[in-house]
């Protein structure tokens, strides 16, 4: 399938693996890229720019296909060394970067000068238009369904994607609720040029996470996610567990007086315990409503091949048959 996204990133299929904390390692990115999509290494999972460079090198040992790096710009008193991270990406020869969080305008000139294509994650059309105006090559439009941070507007993709198509000139991909060929065809119908998947890729054989995490996704339905940190205007969609339910009680009791310190035990530094050790009640971890559509743990190759075959069948046979009357 050829779209502006496949052309932009030099990939076979219009499927991107979103950056995910403690999931976007070399094994994950290489598996997606080898299957024809665009795999993404998560920069901030690495402890240093030097470690990121090593992770990129590891990925290059596993694939000769294009892959990218996610750089999330966080508001922080002790911000990561973003200039060094960007330098590591450029010096390693990576030609695709997914940015997220705060405005990436400070680093865009360096990335553009190095020939790096930038796709920015956005949860609102106004944010996507801003990304377009500062020179991003593409955007990922994240609907309310998505795992992680869906923003504060609560607009689902059935509305958000066609709104983006009405406003944007640069290509965009859908994100949030994407799982199969039906998702891809629907996204294309809404004007997207491909789709970004996160939660679906965690439930694959190559995902470098504990088996408990994969089984938790398989066991979950679309009703098993929760929105946390809303009072802090840093909303995150997570899979419910004991820690999450405790967190929600705190939020309800403290209301507008809630501070991050009040919920730090449930959200700060918990990812290694969950993703590596499989302690599923250690704290809150990002998971999309799409869990309700995930029923197996295939390889990335099997998953992407299945998505593309289903999409082709829907377009050429099911919809084609409808047009023929």
Q: How confident is the model at residue 324 (pLDDT cuts 50, 70, 90)?
A: confident
pLDDT of residue 325: 65
Residues 179, 165 share a domain? yes
pLDDT of residue 75: 76
Residues 227, 260 share a domain? yes
Residues 157, 111 share a domain? yes
Contact 235, 220 (CB under 8 A): no
Q: Which residues contact 130 (CB under 8 A, 6 or more apart)?
A: 103
Closest CA to 218 of 163, 292, 280, 278: 292
165 pLDDT more than 80: yes
Residue pLDDT, tens place only, 103-142: 999 999 999 999 999 999 999 999 999 999 999 999 999 9
For residues 172 and 22, what is the distance between their CA atoms, to the nearest angstrom?
25
Over the chain, what is the mean pLDDT?
97
Of all residues in the chain, what percent carry a pLDDT higher than 90?
A: 97
Residue pLDDT, tens place only, 90-106: 999 999 999 999 999 99
CATH number of 78's domain: 3.20.20.70
Residues 199, 238 share a domain? no
176 pLDDT more than 80: yes
Residues 236, 309 share a domain? no
Residues 68, 113 share a domain? yes
pLDDT of residue 76: 75
Residues 274, 310 share a domain? no
Q: How confident is the model at residue 79 (pLDDT cuts 50, 70, 90)?
A: confident
Residues 308, 224 share a domain? no
| Structure-token pair, residue 275 | 């993703």
Report, as an integer, the average pLDDT of 220-224: 98
Residues 30, 9 share a domain? yes
Contact 93, 85 (CB under 8 A): no
Q: How confident is the model at residue 78 (pLDDT cuts 50, 70, 90)?
A: confident
Q: What residue has token string 């009680």? A: 249
Residues 262, 305 share a domain? no
Contact 218, 297 (CB under 8 A): yes
Contact 122, 139 (CB under 8 A): yes
Q: What residue has token string 């050790």? A: 277
For residues 99 and 118, what is the distance between their CA atoms, to the nearest angstrom?
7
- Per the structure, the count of domains in the chain is 2
Report, as an integer, the average pLDDT of 19-33: 97
Domain, as residue range, for 18:
4-206+298-324
41 pLDDT more than 70: yes
Closest CA to 225 of 246, 239, 208: 239
**Beta partners for residue 70, in sequence order:** 42, 98
Three-state SS letters, 225-277: EEEECHHHCCCEEEECCHHHHHHHHHHHHHHHHCCHHHHHHHHCCCHHHHHHC
Residues 273, 216 share a domain? yes
| Structure-token pair, residue 36 | 């024809």
| Structure-token pair, residue 292 | 């309700």
Residues 311, 234 share a domain? no
pLDDT of residue 182: 98
Cβ atoms within 10 A of the Cβ of 90, count? 18
């Amino acid at each position: 399938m050829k779209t502006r996204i496949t052309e932009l990133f030099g990939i076979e299929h219009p499927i991107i693996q979103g950056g995910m904390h403690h999931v976007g390692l070399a094994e994950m990115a290489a598996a997606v890229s080898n299957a024809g999509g665009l795999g993404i290494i998560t920069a901030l999972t690495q402890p240093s720019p030097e470690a990121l460079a090593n992770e990129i090198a590891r990925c290059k040992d596993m694939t000769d296909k294009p892959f990218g790096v996610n750089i999330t710009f966080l508001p922080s008193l002790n911000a990561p060394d973003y200039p060094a991270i960007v330098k590591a990406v450029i010096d390693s020869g990576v030609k695709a970067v997914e940015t997220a969080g705060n405005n990436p305008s400070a680093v865009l000139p360096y990335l553009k000068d190095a020939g790096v294509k930038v796709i920015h994650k956005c949860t609102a059309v106004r944010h996507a238009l801003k990304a377009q105006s500062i020179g991003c090559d593409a955007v990922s439009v994240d609907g309310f369904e998505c795992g992680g941070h869906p923003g504060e507007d609560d607009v689902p993709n059935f509305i958000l994607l066609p709104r983006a198509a009405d406003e944007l000139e640069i290509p965009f991909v859908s994100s949030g609720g994407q799982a199969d060929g039906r998702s891809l065809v629907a996204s294309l119908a809404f004007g997207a040029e491909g789709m970004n998947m996160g939660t679906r890729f965690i439930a694959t054989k190559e995902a470098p996470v504990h088996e408990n995490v994969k089984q938790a996704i398989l066991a979950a339905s679309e009703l098993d996610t929760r929105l946390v940190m809303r009072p802090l205007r840093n909303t995150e969609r997570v899979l419910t567990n004991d820690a999450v339910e405790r967190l929600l009680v705190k939020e309800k009791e403290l209301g507008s007086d809630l501070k991050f310190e009040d919920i730090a035990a449930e959200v700060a530094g918990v990812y290694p315990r969950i993703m590596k050790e499989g302690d599923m009640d250690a704290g809150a971890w990002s998971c999309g409503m799409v869990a309700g559509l995930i029923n197996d743990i295939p390889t990335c190759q099997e998953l992407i091949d299945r998505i593309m075959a289903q999409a082709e069948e829907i377009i050429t046979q099911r919809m084609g048959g409808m047009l023929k009357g």
